[in-house]
Structure 1
Amino acid sequence: MLKLSNETKVGILTVVGITLLVLGFNLLKGKSLFSHNKTIYAVYKNVNGLMPANAVQVNGLVVGSVSNLEVKDKDASQILVTLTITKKIDIPRNSVARISSDLLGTKTVQVDLGNATEYLQSGDTVYAATDGSMTDALKEQLNPLVQKLQGTLSNIDSVLLTVNAILDTTAKGNLQDAIRNLNATMRNFTHTSASLNGMLDPHNGNIQKTFDNLAAVTGNLKDNNQKITGILDNAEKATGALANGNIDKTLQQLQQTANNLNQTIAKLNTTDGTAGLLLNDKKVYNNLQYSLGNLNKLLEDLRINPKRYVHFSLFGKKDKTKPLPSDTAAVQQ
């Protein structure tokens, strides 16, 4: 049996350890030394924190991993990412390798398959695209809210400026006066409500008394219902008698009487008849007045001097004529 020295054993263990270390390191980087892998490249302007060993997925299936990231030609705007595809799949040439992240911030490379008939081979470069990060997504969601908040703050600022402009010294005084007037109005309203409560008092309120009087009136109407019915019956009978009477004939006679009266008045207003002459001719009136005056004098003279008109004298002696009192009064005047 071959005996190995301690130095040989140490050397063998060292080689095995180094081999295992290399294999483990490659495994951690996503490389497999015992399978046929496909390596493709993608160039990004921004990798959003992509790191080696991040998964490469197609339709949610992990088909490989990111093996390396480096700056291309010392240009930091171009980052060359090496993708190792471990699954045996065909990737069309117009496919897009898109960097995305989940809610926890884990980065992955999502390969969106195209529709080309030619497929990528190992060493080819695929189209690259980058999704917005969670921060970008939040910014997109928050930007409208921020704009609305800014508008709201601007409106609040305008309101505050307006309030400050209103609440100057004069405005404060006016506001205090308005508050005092409002207090006075409220006191008046309190007095008014107290008065209303007094009126609405179920025992001594005016409205209750009014309802009581109304109830008394309706009670009287109810008690005198028969009398009221009799009055209405009598009224109905009276109106029926008037309706059944010769009202038309009576009205015609009344109209004829009115016409005759109008004709008589018209004749009195003219000088055709005696009455018209007496009413309208002043000369006739004066003559009549004069005749009446003479008649009165004649009667007065007959009363004073009857012997002037009837003479019974046996001896032929004449009496003296006495003056009329009316003539004496006229002379004295």
Structure 2
Amino acid sequence: MKFTKEAKIGLIAIISLFILYFGINYLKGVNLFKPTNHYYVKFDNVAELQKSAPIYIEGFKVGIVNDILYDYSNANKIVVLISLDKSMKITSGSYVEKTTGFTTGASLHIVMNKYVSTNIQVGDTIDGSSKAGMMDIVADDLMPKVQDLLPKIDSILTGLASIVNHPALTMSLDHIERTGYNLEKSSQQLSIMMSSDIPLIMTDFRKISSDFSLISANMREIDLNQTVDKLNASLENVQNMSEKFGSSDNNVGLLLNDRLLYDNLTATTENAANLLLDFKQNPKRYVHFSIFNRNSNK
């Protein structure tokens, strides 16, 4: 049996649409070949909840959101159609809780009533509730505190602006800049000194060290015992001379220690001084000079 060209194109299009349909559902997490049970859940708010959103029990995925419908007969109620695994049974009194993640969007969590053994019939309606998510907690708890902090932050920023714009800060920065420039200049001068003066200083130091070594060698060659003996002899001579000065058995001792001689010398010095003074005051008393008398005597 031969197919026309148009039939082949049509068959390829149908197969492509079939693959596209199953592929899209597979990407959404819908398994068309897996049997499921459908339930309805009523919510007051389904913010951020999307079709194909996962449904969990105790952290284990048991189904997905199939559809989201608005209940026009019951105001402020939104009906969510969920698909659960065929073998999944929901006990009476259980409820579905919507939670919102920080980045993953909203998901549904079934909170099972573990105290009863009866189950909800397939296709029945389950009560739903919304749990505050991370963003809700931030909006409800953190934002008021942030709003209370805003005036303080504003005053802090105003204070910082006044400090930054204060002339004293500008002057301080200028001083710091000049200090840095001076330090850089001093560092350059120190570098120049280290490269030019320090070698000369080290050369002089080596020379002085060499001289000290030579002096030390000469000191080792000196006979210290002989030097000490000579020094002791000199000190003994000085002591003997001092003792002679203090005794009266020699001329120098008599001159220094004889009181009568000292008094006579003192009196003689005073008489000589008086005589010189009188001579200056009355020179005619001691010198006679006359031409006529001299001729008559001849």
Identify the TM-score tier after normalising by the shorter chain: 0.3 to 0.5
TM-score normalised according to structure 1 size: 0.41
Q: Which structure ranks higher in relative contact order (CA pairs < 8 Å, sequence separation ≥ 6)?
A: 2
